[in-house]
Amino acid sequence: MDFKLSEDQKISTLKENVKHFIAVLSGKGGVGKTTVSVNLSTALAESGYNVGILDLDIHGPDIVRMLGGNAIPGVDEDERIVPAQILPNLKALSISMLVEEGKPIIWRGPLKHSAIKQFLGDTNWGQLDFMIFDLPPGTGDEALSLLQTLGNIDGIIVVTTPQRVALDDVRRAIAFVHSMNQKVLGIVENMSYMKCKDEIVYPFGKGGADKLAEEYNIPVLGRIPMDPKALELLDEGKPITLYYRGSEIEKSFRELAENVAKNVEK
């Protein structure tokens, strides 16, 4: 008799074990998806939730660089992947943990799709409150594979910067989410403002996220300030919520985590 679970059974088991699935998407590259995914994950973990973060940016995997730590994934007795343990209640998995550093990942759609299915169904994630997916920019194969594999998820966070808010690519990202019959959990405006001494400046303009939120009737879940020190820390693999305590940007990530937790419970 064959005791192997079917693909569908593996995904239903995952869905039984994970309370909330949240994907982080953007219309354009470089707006801060990975920064948001990583620091949202550490903030949620520090609030006591069991969290998993999965890097779905197959060609440009970045979470390890920003999350730090030397933990590596393992294999359990059922030959399932065991994600790397970053904190006692934070696990992470990225293709960059499995391939040689510096080597390009030249995979087309079907291969990416099967990798994503393995990261979901053939991985021992254990019991989680939140599973966060860091997506590549735009609405390509990875986002499609994720949503096709999991079906309905709790929500998708759309990250944008103020100057991009009004642009087509953000609207396209939102339209993609709706066309997949999924929910936009809310918008995160990254590089929303900058604090210079006691003055707040808006290098990329102001009010964009609010306009978008009003137009689509979705909440602004977070406004993340721009902070050069944060950039340095992220480059060194030091998540802001763990290594930059007391800063404005740390506070903004904690607020984001609170808002995300509140909004999924709705």
Ligand X SMILES: Nc1ncnc2c1ncn2[C@@H]1O[C@H](COP(=O)(O)OP(=O)(O)OP(=O)(O)O)[C@@H](O)[C@H]1O
Binding residue ranges = 27-34
Which of ligand X, Mg ion, none does 190 bind, CB closer than 5 to 8 A by kind?
A: ligand X
On the 0-12 / 13-18 / 19+ scale of CB atoms within 10 A, 8 is: exposed
Q: Is 223 left (phi over 0), alpha (psi -120 to 50) or beta?
A: beta
Query: Binders of ligand X: how many residues, by CB under 6 A?
Result: 21
- Given the complex with Mg ion, which of 80 and 172 has the nearer CB atom? 172
Q: Do 53 and 44 contact (CB within 8 A), yes or no?
A: no
The correct pick among 18, 22, 49, 57 for binding ligand X (CB under 6 A) is: 57
Of the candidate spans 28-36, 90-98, 118-126, 176-184, the one that interacts with ligand X by CB under 6 A turns out to be 28-36
- 32: contact with ligand X by CB under 6 A: yes
Cα separation, 141 vs 112, whole angstroms:
8
- 41: contact with ligand X by CB under 6 A: no
Which of ligand X, Mg ion, none does 234 bind, CB closer than 5 to 8 A by kind?
A: ligand X
On the 0-12 / 13-18 / 19+ scale of CB atoms within 10 A, 262 is: exposed
- Output b/e per residue, 227-246; b: 16+ Cβ within 10 A: beebeebbeebebbbbbbee
Say which residue the tokens 């040689």 belong to: 100
- 224: contact with ligand X by CB under 6 A: yes
- 58: contact with ligand X by CB under 6 A: no
Which residues are known binding-site members for ATP?
Answer: 27-34
Of the candidate spans 114-122, 166-174, 215-223, 227-235, the one that interacts with ligand X by CB under 6 A turns out to be 227-235
- 161: contact with ligand X by CB under 6 A: no
Report the site for ligand X in 114-153 (rule: CB under 6 A): 136-137
Q: Is 246 left (phi over 0), alpha (psi -120 to 50) or beta?
A: left
Binding residues for ligand X, rule: CB under 6 A, are 26, 29-35, 57, 60, 62, 136-137, 190-191, 224, 226-227, 230-231, 234
